[in-house]
């Protein structure tokens, strides 16, 4: 019996650009990135401290994100304990920049734990306005609250609720839905060709994602913006979910120009054709951006 990744390769071999390059890239370790937290320090001071701790790094397309070279130890750095850095994949920054939260806005992070995107949004908002950071699992809230505290953030309220049933007394300017997914964008292969970072389980993820995205959209005020993102390359968890929303709600996928190589959303898969707007979604492949594979769609409430 074929494993899920073999089936994935059969389905996507003709869809992923430079497919052989993708397969080669899967055998390489994922690069390590740190986001510098400018709420507690400035970029040059943070980089100076990291250098004194023996790190070598280089710039990326995001001014506060650095790519680390050959860290000798897995132990947390002093900079980490001080709240000066957050280990975060380059692709994890993309949904936050697509959402573009501003100071003074009311923002919802519907599936927030462990807090990488929540704390990044707070940073871009200069710790002003309001972020509601929600997660359904109590155990995951521990990490979320610890990261919020460590990063020195005060504009964020943490809530525990099933996202598809989330209730609020007001509508939000912006909502981020980084949905639970199969995580195929994180897959790596070991020397024996076995899959690493594979998530177990038989949950009907597309059904959960569709319920989450409709609730996220309903929590927006008119003219608001929703960003839907996943770290999977699965069309049924990505484009099919956006197609579902476009059919159920007055939603419009809007164009966004990422600072890294991207591919458009897939508009036809296994004989199914999706709404034209689905093509305005963005796909990010690991071998093109040197990070976790990602998908996102920026959606406006008409």
Query: Over the stretch 167-213, which tens digit does the pLDDT of each residue have?
Result: 999 999 999 999 999 999 998 887 666 666 566 655 799 999 999 99
Give the Cα separation of 67 and 70 in Å (integer): 10
Domain match, 140 and 67 both = no
Domain match, 139 and 38 both = no
pLDDT in tens, 80-137: 999 999 999 999 999 999 999 999 999 999 999 999 999 999 999 999 999 999 999 9
- Which residues constitute the domain of residue 76? 31-88
CATH number at residue 65: 3.30.70.1170
Domain match, 69 and 98 both = no
Catalytic residues: 231
Domain match, 159 and 275 both = yes
Mean pLDDT (whole number) for 52-79:
87
Domain match, 197 and 294 both = yes
Give the Cα separation of 117 and 160 in Å (integer): 17
**Domain end position, chosen among 72, 88, 104:** 88
CATH number at residue 129: 3.40.50.150
**Domain end position, chosen among 47, 64, 88:** 88
Domain match, 59 and 112 both = no
Domain match, 101 and 13 both = yes
Instruction: Give me the chain's average pLDDT, please.
Output: 93
């Amino acid at each position: 019996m074929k494993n899920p990744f073999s089936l994935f390769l059969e389905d996507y071999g003709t869809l992923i650009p430079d497919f052989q390059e993708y397969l080669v890239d899967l055998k390489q370790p994922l690069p390590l990135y740190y986001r510098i937290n400018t709420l507690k320090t400035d970029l040059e001071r943070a980089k100076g401290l990291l250098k004194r701790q023996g790190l070598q790094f280089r710039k990326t397309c995001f001014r506060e994100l650095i790519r680390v070279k050959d860290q000798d130890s897995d132990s947390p750095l002093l900079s980490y304990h001080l709240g000066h850095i957050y280990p975060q994949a380059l692709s994890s920054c993309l949904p936050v920049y697509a959402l573009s939260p501003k100071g003074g806005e009311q923002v919802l992070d519907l599936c927030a734990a462990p807090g990488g995107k929540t704390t990044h949004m707070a940073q871009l908002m200069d710790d002003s306005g309001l972020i509601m950071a929600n997660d359904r699992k109590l155990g995951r809230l521990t990490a979320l609250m610890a990261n919020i505290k460590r990063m020195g953030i005060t504009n964020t309220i943490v809530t525990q609720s099933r996202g598809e049933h989330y209730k609020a007394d007001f509508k939000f300017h912006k909502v981020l839905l980084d949905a639970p997914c199969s995580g195929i964008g994180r897959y790596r292969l070991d020397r024996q060709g076995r899959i690493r970072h594979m998530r177990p389980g038989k949950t009907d993820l597309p059904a959960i994602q569709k319920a989450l995205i409709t609730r996220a959209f309903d929590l927006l005020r008119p003219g608001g913006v929703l960003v839907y993102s996943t770290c999977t390359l699965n069309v049924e968890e990505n484009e099919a979910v956006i197609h579902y929303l476009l059919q159920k709600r007055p939603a419009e996928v809007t164009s966004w120009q990422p600072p890294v190589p991207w591919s458009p959303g897939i508009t036809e898969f296994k004989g199914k054709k999706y709404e034209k707007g689905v093509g305005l979604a963005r796909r990010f492949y690991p071998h093109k951006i040197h990070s976790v594979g990602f998908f996102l769609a920026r959606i406006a409430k008409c």
